[in-house]
Amino acid sequence: MVVQHAKIAFRDLTVKYGDKTAIEKLSLEVATNEIIGIIGPAGSGKTSLLRVLNRTLMNTPGAKVSGEVRIDGEDVHRIRDVSRLRRRIGMVAPLPVGLPMSIYDNVAFAPRMAGITEKKVLDGLVERCLRQAALWDEVEHRLGDLGTKLSGGQQQRLTIARALSHQPEILCLDEFSIAIDPVTTMRIEEVLKDLRKTMTIFLVTNLVQQARRLADRTAFMLMGELVEVGPTEELFGRNPRDRRTFDYVHGHFG
């Protein structure tokens, strides 16, 4: 499907780890300010898709990538300044990984690395990101505490705040709710609905109902193949184009 105002375009993307194919000739376009859900069982290539986007896959021995990956028409594999690329893309991993420093410094770390040093600017940025991650009200009076001392759900929201601190154009979430409780998950989902006003969001999830709640469109991947992509309610309806999609979203396998 061709979308108008494509922010991201994958064309004939193939990813291999040695002799094993993780993604096979995948083509997908993602619109600006869209939440795109990526679903499929483990081993379908979902995480590899995100790692191609920000070029962290290049650090994996034996990994090979062919095809095109473009952001705003620019081929990511031709970008020489990889750090510039990664500042455009916020990444949130399945398990929260807090830096061994204060809550404040967790969020201020990337801006400082980018050259922002004025305290007033950093204070405003830290507060904005923590508010966006629905964490500010819980930590505003203890910003000097270690981030690693927060609860699991709070640490995951801190991870989101950190991902937002360099003001990314794209936010990639890889199974963000795997280790947090349902109440915290719902709070973060509300945050994501608001964030889509200013960025494009990749939502990789094994929770098919989460994709149904959040995604504008959903893509179903199976064993490296992009089986189907379309408006979320159509994909979850009774007549998706591919029987495998119906079976997966209705819990017949996976």
pLDDT digits (tens, 9 = 90+) for 101-132: 999 999 999 999 989 999 999 999 999 999 98
Total domains in the chain come to 1
CATH code for the domain of 246:
3.40.50.300
The ranges of the chain with pLDDT < 70 are 1-4
Q: Is residue 215 part of a domain?
A: yes
Residues 6+ apart with CB under 8 A from 131: none
Q: Is residue 212 part of a domain?
A: yes
The rounded distance, in Å, linking the Cα atoms of 192 and 214 is 8
Q: Is residue 240 part of a domain?
A: yes
Q: Is residue 120 part of a domain?
A: no
Q: Is residue 5 part of a domain?
A: yes
pLDDT in tens, 159-170: 999 999 989 999
Enclosing domain of residue 65: 1-88+170-178+200-254
Q: Is residue 165 part of a domain?
A: no
Q: Is residue 223 part of a domain?
A: yes
Percent of the chain surpassing pLDDT 90: 78
The rounded distance, in Å, linking the Cα atoms of 199 and 197 is 6
Q: Is residue 142 part of a domain?
A: no
